[in-house]
Every structure is written in C-alpha cells, then in structure tokens.
A and B are shown apart, each in its own frame.
Chain A
Amino acid sequence: MLSSKAMLDGHGEESPYFQGWKEYEKNAYDDIKNPTGIIQMGLAENQLSLDLLKTWIENNQDATRLTNNGESVFRDLALFQDYHGLPAFKNVLAEFMAEIRGNKVSFDPRKLVLMAGATAASETLMFCIAEHGDAFLLPTPYYPGYDRDLKWRTGVELVPIHCLSSNGFKVTKFALEEAYQQAKKLSLNVKGVLITNPSNPLGTTMSHVELDELITFTVAKKIHLISDEIFSGTVFENPSFISIIEAVIDRKLEKTDLWSRVHIVYSLSKDFGIPGFRVGMIYSNNERLVSTATKMSSYGLISSQTQYLQSKLLSGKEFREKYLEENRNRVKERREMMVVGLGEAGISCLKGNAGLFCWVDLRNLLSSNTFTAEMELWKKILHEAGLNISPGASCHCSEPGWFRICFANMSQETLKVSMERMKAFISKQYCCM
C-alpha cells in the first residue's frame, strides 16, 4: 500500500545507534530527579557555548524581534522565500567559513546553497551527483546517520573504505583502491568519495598526506569529492585543519576538471550548538550543481526568521573571532577531562584534535574479538554503567571494540559522574575477568 521506502527500514533506525537513544528516553539521567538514570553520551551536540549566544541575543534584541534599528522587518521576512537565501546571511557565512580556515581560503557567497540542515545538504548532493544504484565510497568508521541521509530516498549505495587502528584509522591509497575494486565487484558505478573532515567519530582532522591521496585518487578515477566539514569550527589543537578546498589549491588544481567535482557540506549545528535552527549548506565550484541544488533547496529552505537571526549574530567579526576561540578552548578542556577520566580507568582514546567526542579503545574489555562481543559490551555499559555510547559497528568500523563517547552534550558535573561510573564499571569487569 505504501512505498518500499516507507515500509522497509531504509531509515536505519533499528540500529543500536538509535536503540540506545530509545533506552535513554525511557530512563533519562537527571542529577536531581533521576540520578541513576542513563547518561546520554551518544549525542554529538555542542552545549558548551550556548551562553555566549544567549548573551549576544540579549544584547542585540533586533535579531530576534525581527526589527532593524527598531523598525519591523517582519513582513519582508515572512514573505522571503527566495531559494537563493538571504544575501546578508550568505555574505557573513562565507566570511565565517574563511575565518574557520584561518583565512587560507576564501569563499564566494554565490557558490553557497542554503538548506535546512546538513542532513538536507548531504542528501541533495546525492540527488545532484548520483543516479539510483550508483555508489559513494566512505572511509570507515563514519557517522551512522549517513546510511539514512545518503541512501534512503536516493537509492545510492555506500561502499566502505576500510580504515584500521594500525595506522590511527587514516585513509590510505590501498584502502581507497580496495574499496573501488569492491564496488566494481558489486557492479556499482562509483560517483565519488565522501569524507567527514574533521572526522566523526574519530575526532581527528585529515592529514596533508591523506588529502593528497584522496585528491590523486579522485583525479585518476574522475569522480567527485564531498567533504563534510561540519566540525571544522571545533578544531582546538594542531595539526591545524586543512579544508579540501585548500588542499586542492595547494596542488594547483583550480583550473582543472577536479575543481568542479569538489563540494563542501557545512552547518552551524555543531560549531554553534544550534541544531534546532536547521542551518546547513553546500559549497561548490560547480555552477550547474549550485544552480540545481539551489532549486532543490525548495524542499528544505531555512526559515527566514532564522536566517535573519543568524545573519545578525554572525555579522560582527569581533564576536565571531571571540566565539570561535572560546568555543575551541571549552571543547579542548572537555575532551581532556574525558581523556584523563578514561585514562584513570585504564582506557585509552585515539589521539584527537577536534569534534565533540572521543574514539575510545575498549578492545581489552571484549570477551572475544567479534562484533557480537562488542554488542554485548555495549549493552552491559548501557544497563550496568547506565551510559549510552555508540558502538563502532554502528559506525561501520572494521574492527570490534571501538566506541564513540560524546563529551560536549552535558554539564561538567554530569561528565564527572559518567567518568566515575565508567571507572566503577571497568574495575568490576577486570575483577570478574
């Protein structure tokens, strides 16, 4: 009666990534009302710097009141549904994106397409680049949501580029080739590679060498390269972030074919912690793609009310710089708290310099080197330690035993509680082992 899309589970919500979420909702931790509840550590949200935004809003009432120098702009905004987006907003976004990249690259607002969230942006890129049944290669581990966002309604297939702990999960030439061959074996037409840089769930930025390999590969195969850079504003430490655009310019490839096959996805959800406002975008040098994606954005435009607020918020260079710096410091501090806390429990994390989470090595706690054992461990941590974390399998990791644990979506006190619980859990495990 309904379509296969509606009736099957292409939405991917039967995976543990979402199951854990559901358990949490039934028994959510609250320091006062439910101190034994489940602590949500599976949600990559940035709750660390909302106070800065709140203060700004309180001191700049025009932005929310929908006035400009006291005069109402309500009418103009209420009617503004131009899929080219609010010009003032795109201008400041282009500046902001450049600042995040240390002004080593500049962005043209005319190449920016606004969408209601990175989710919409990623899916739209699939619609613009691939046919039903075409494939994209993705380095593993990757964000579980991609299985839905990139595949569900588009019919695109995803083929993993297997990355291993032996080299810190870096993308290698060998892994790229192997993935490409695997796609061929499955008779899939590869349209491109999609990377998340900084990586979710690794919390690392891609190295110069990796980006070079990637570019060489996509030039040779004549395929697209999508770089989801939504965590770019969370890079708090060296190595510094190298955007794909910068890497392509460094190789002096602006005048080549490749230039039109490189696209960036960005969003304010992670850097600003405002996922509810649905601010995402595509950046591309490909005019046709920009033109089509712009029209497709009709299916998910950003509310003009929000475009206005954000355009005002981002209009002050000073505020932008201060915010970026303060946010990075807070992210760094939080990460350190977690790394130290886990370290005290004898657990190590992949060395990371970005993101809102750690990629944690729990291989020692597995009863066997299998994904079944990983699932068992995940459930134990959920039910015994009362922590919802994301098992590597849900991120398509090739090796069992790795987990993503988020640190920025809770208060400092809650993080401390979670670390204590983890310590207690680990001690118990070692006792019993």
Chain B
Amino acid sequence: MLSKKVRLDAHGEDSSYFLGWKEYEKNAYDDVQNPTGIIQMGLAENQLSFDLLEAWLASNQDAARLTKNGESVFRELALFQDYHGLPEFKNVLVDFMAEIRRNKVSFDPRKLVLMAGATSANETLMFCIAEPGDAFLLPTPYYPGFDRDLKWRTGVELVPIHCSSSNGFKVTKFALEEAYQQAQKLSLNVKGVLITNPSNPLGTTMSHDELEVLITFAIAKKIHIISDEIYSGTVFDHPSFISIMKALLDRKLEETEVWNRVHVVYSLSKDLGVPGFRVGMIYSNNETLVSAATKMSSFGLISSQTQYLLSKLLSDKKFTKNYMKENRKRLKARREMLVTALRDAGIECLKSNAGLFCWVDMRNLLSSNTFDAEVELWKKILREAGLNVSPGASCHCSEPGWFRICFANMSEETLKVSMQRMKAFVEKNTQQCRRGGGRVTHQESGCNSRRRSLSNWVLNLCSYDREPYR
C-alpha cells in the first residue's frame, strides 16, 4: 500500500546509533532529578558557546524582532520565499566561510545554495549528481546518518573506502582504488567520493597528502568530490584546516574539469550550535548544479525569519571573530578534559584537532576482536556505566573496538561525572578480565560467558548496506 521507502525505513532506525538514543530518552541523566540516568555522549552538538550568542541577541534586538533600525521588516520577510535566498545572508555567509579558512580562499555568494540543513544539502547533491543505483565512495568510519541522508530517497549506493587504525585512519591511494574496484565488482557506476573534513567521527582534519591523493584519484576517474565541511569552524589545533577548494587552488586546477566536479557542504549547526534553525548550504563552481540545486531547494528552504536573524549576527564581524576564537578555545579545553580523563582510565583517543567528539580506542576492553564483542561492550557501557556512546560499527568502521564519544553537548560537570563513571567501569572490567587469567583472547570465556551470535540489529545494519562487515 505504501512505497518501498517506507518498508526500508523499518530497518534504518534499528541501528545502535538510534537504539542508544531511545534508551537515553527513557532514562535521561539530570544532575538533580535523575543523577543515575544515562548520559548522552552520542550526540554531536555544540552547546559550549550559547552565552555568546545570547549576549549578542540581547544587544541587537532588531535581528530577532524582525525590525531594521526600528522599522518592521515583517511583511517583506513573511513574503520572501525566493529560492535564491536572502542576498544579505548569502553575502555574510561567504565572508564567514572565508574567515573560517583564514581567508585563504574566497567564496562567491552566487555559487551558494541555501537549504534547510546539511541533511537536505547532502541529499540534494545526490539528486543532482547521481542516478538511482549509482554509487558514492565514502571513507570509513563515517557519520551514521549518511546511510539515510544519501541513500534513502535517492537510490544511491555507498561503497566504503576502508581506512585503518594502522595509519590513523587516513585515506590512502590503495584504499581508494580498492573501493573503486569493489564498486566495479558490484556493477556500480561510481559518481564520486564524499569526504567529511574535518572528519566525523575521527575529529581530525585531512592532511595535505590525503587531499592530494583524493584529487588525483577524482581526476583520473573523472568523478565528483563532495567535501562536507560542517565542522570546519571547530578546528582548534594544528594541523590547520585545508578546505578542498584550497587544495584545488594549490594545484592550480581552477581552469580544469575537476573544478566543476567539486562541491562543498556547509551548515551552521555545528559551528554555531544552532541545529534547530536548519541552516545548510551547498557551494559549487558548477553552474548547472547550482541552478538545479537552487530549484530543488524549494523542497527545503530556510525560513526567512531565520535567514534574517543570522544575517544580522554574521554581519557583525567583531562578534564572529571573537566567537570563533572563543568557541575553538572552549572546544579544545573540553576535548582535553575528555582525553585526559580517558587516559587516566587507561584509554587512548585518536589524536585529533577538530570536531565535537573523540575517536576512542577501547579495543583492549573487547572480549574478542569482533563486532559482536563491540556490541556487547557498547551495551555494557550503556547499562553499567550509564553512558550512551557510538560504537564504531554504526560508523562502518572496519575494525572493532573504536567508539565515538561526544564532549560538547553537556555541561562540564556532567562530563566530569561521565568520566568518573567511565573510570569506574574500566577498572571493574579490567579486574574481571584479570580474574579470568591471562590475556583476553577470542577463545577465552572469562569476560564473555554469554557468547552470542551476531545480533539482529547488526544484521539489519548489514542488510541496509550491500556489503557485509569484515
């Protein structure tokens, strides 16, 4: 009676990424009302700098009140549904994007397409570039939401570019080629590569080498590159962020074909912490794509009320400069809190310089080097430590034992509590392992007396992709 997309939907939200969310909703931590509840560490939100935004709002009443120098602009905004977007908003957005990239690249507002969120922007790019059944290659681990955003209604397939801990999960020429061959084996027509830079869930920026390899690959295969740069404003440490646009300019590729096949996705949800306002965008040098995407944005325009508010905010250059600096400082401090505390508990994180999360190495806590064991560990952390973290499998990581843990979506106190719980959990579980005697191996049953076969929801994850996990 309903479409296949509805039936497919039944799988999508069975993954751990969403299950953990549901557990949390049933028993959410509150420092006063529910101090034993589950602490949400699976949500990549930036809650660290609202005070700055609120202070600005309080001193700039025009922006929210829909007035300009005291005169109402309500009528104009209420009627403004032009899919080209509010010009003043696009102008300040390109300035802001350039500022984030230390003005090493500049952006043209005419190449910017506004959309109601990066979710919408990513899907729209799929519709503009690929036919149903075409494929995009994505380095793993990647944001779990991509499985829905890029594939669900578009019919596009995703093929993983396997990155491994042996080199810090960097994208290699070998991995790119291998993914491409895999797509060929599956008779899929590869239309492009989509990278998230800075990476979610790794929290790292792509190196110069990686970008080089990627560009060379995209040129050779004549395919597109989409660079989701939604965390670009969260880069708080070296190495500095290199946008895909900068990398192209450095190779003097502006006059070549690949220039028209490179597209950037951006959003204010992470950098400004305003996911509720639905501000996303596509930036592309490809005129045909910009034209088509602009029309498609009708399916998800940004509320003119919001465009106005944020155009005022971002036009205040003094504010944006200060905000970016302060926001980065706070992110860095938070990250350090998490890294230090985890290290205290004997857990290491991938060295990172961006993002709202750490990519955490808990392989030592696995009862066996399997995704099965990873699920078990995730559930234990959820139920015993009361922490909802994201297991690597939900991000399509090739190796079990890695978890994404967010640090910017809670107060400092809550983070401290979570780290205390983690320490206690690790101690308890390490002791249990030791009691079992010797090194934990696949054969040992000390830590994992209830050995289970691959659970249903992992199978569902597998069925949602075409490729089984290794």
Q: Which A residues contact B (CB, under 8 angstroms)?
A: 1-7, 11, 13, 45, 47, 50, 53-54, 57-58, 61, 64-66, 72, 74-75, 77-81, 116-117, 119-120, 123, 127-132, 148-149, 152-153, 260-261, 269, 272-278, 286, 288-289, 291-292, 295-296, 298-306, 309
Question: CA–CA, A131 to B304, complex, Å?
Answer: 33
Min C-beta distance of A134 to chain B, whole Å = 8
Knowing A57-B74, A153-B296, A273-B79 touch, does A292 contact B6 (C-beta < 8 A)? yes
Are A54 and B79 in contact, CB atoms less than 8 angstroms apart? Answer: no
Knowing A1-B261, A127-B153, A303-B306 touch, does A79 contact B273 (C-beta < 8 A)? yes
Question: CA–CA, A58 to B73, complex, Å?
Answer: 12
Q: Which B residues contact A (CB, under 8 angstroms)?
A: 1-6, 9, 12-13, 45, 47, 50, 53-54, 57-58, 61, 64-66, 72, 74-75, 77-81, 116-117, 119-120, 123, 127-132, 148-149, 152-153, 260-261, 269, 273-278, 286, 288-289, 292-293, 295-296, 298-306, 309
| Residues on the A chain within 8 Å of B289, using CB | 2, 6
Residue from B117, B132, B275, B304 in contact with A276 in the complex, judged by beta carbons closer than 8 Å: B304
Knowing A78-B273, A276-B80, A303-B278 touch, does A54 contact B75 (C-beta < 8 A)? yes
Are B306 and A306 in contact, CB atoms less than 8 angstroms apart? Answer: yes
Question: CA–CA, A277 to B116, complex, Å?
Answer: 12
- Which 3 A-B residue pairs are closest in the complex by CB-CB distance? A300-B300, A304-B276, A276-B304
Q: Which residue of B lies closest to A293 (CB)?
A: B6
| Residues on the B chain within 8 Å of A116, using CB | 116, 278, 299-301, 303
Question: CA–CA, A345 to B261, complex, Å?
Answer: 56
Q: Which residue of A lies closest to B154 (CB)?
A: A153
Q: Which residue of A lies closest to B156 (CB)?
A: A3
Residue from A61, A273, A295, A303 in contact with B12 in the complex, judged by beta carbons closer than 8 Å: A295
Min C-beta distance of A120 to chain B, whole Å = 5
Are A306 and B305 in contact, CB atoms less than 8 angstroms apart? Answer: yes
| Residues on the A chain within 8 Å of B72, using CB | 54, 58
How many pairs of residues, A versus B, come closer than 8 Å at their CB atoms? 213
Secondary structure type dominating chain A contacts:
helix
| 5 A-B pairs (CB sep. < 8 Å) | A3-B128, A3-B129, A127-B3, A128-B5, A299-B149
Are B79 and A275 in contact, CB atoms less than 8 angstroms apart? Answer: yes
Are A128 and B4 in contact, CB atoms less than 8 angstroms apart? Answer: no
Are A128 and B3 in contact, CB atoms less than 8 angstroms apart? Answer: yes
Min C-beta distance of B68 to chain A, whole Å = 13
| Residues on the B chain within 8 Å of A54, using CB | 72, 74-75
Are B127 and A64 in contact, CB atoms less than 8 angstroms apart? Answer: no
Are A120 and B5 in contact, CB atoms less than 8 angstroms apart? Answer: no
Q: Which residue of B lies closest to A78 (CB)?
A: B274
Are B129 and A2 in contact, CB atoms less than 8 angstroms apart? Answer: yes
Are A119 and B303 in contact, CB atoms less than 8 angstroms apart? Answer: no
Question: CA–CA, A130 to B5, complex, Å?
Answer: 9
Knowing A289-B2, A300-B300 touch, does A64 contact B81 (C-beta < 8 A)? no
Are B45 and A79 in contact, CB atoms less than 8 angstroms apart? Answer: yes
Question: CA–CA, A120 to B74, complex, Å?
Answer: 23
Are A302 and B299 in contact, CB atoms less than 8 angstroms apart? Answer: no
Question: CA–CA, A7 to B296, complex, Å?
Answer: 12
Min C-beta distance of A233 to chain B, whole Å = 15
Question: CA–CA, A301 to B116, complex, Å?
Answer: 7
Min C-beta distance of A181 to chain B, whole Å = 22
| Residues on the B chain within 8 Å of A277, using CB | 77-78, 303-305
| Residues on the B chain within 8 Å of A75, using CB | 47, 50, 54
Question: CA–CA, A6 to B13, complex, Å?
Answer: 30
Are A5 and B127 in contact, CB atoms less than 8 angstroms apart? Answer: yes
Q: Which residue of A lies closest to B130 (CB)?
A: A3
Residue from A6, A120, A303 in contact with B303 in the complex, judged by beta carbons closer than 8 Å: A303
Residue from B9, B64, B127, B306 in contact with A291 in the complex, judged by beta carbons closer than 8 Å: B9
- Give the one of B127, B278, B299 with max A CB within 10 A: B299
| Residues on the A chain within 8 Å of B57, using CB | 65-66, 72, 74
Are B300 and A74 in contact, CB atoms less than 8 angstroms apart? Answer: no
Are B306 and A3 in contact, CB atoms less than 8 angstroms apart? Answer: no
Q: Which residue of B lies closest to A153 (CB)?
A: B127
Q: Which residue of B lies closest to A302 (CB)?
A: B303
Are B292 and A45 in contact, CB atoms less than 8 angstroms apart? Answer: no
Min C-beta distance of B14 to chain A, whole Å = 13
Residue from B2, B148, B286, B305 in contact with A309 in the complex, judged by beta carbons closer than 8 Å: B305
Are A120 and B305 in contact, CB atoms less than 8 angstroms apart? Answer: no
Q: Which residue of B lies closest to A276 (CB)?
A: B304
- Give the one of B152, B292, B309 with max A CB within 10 A: B292
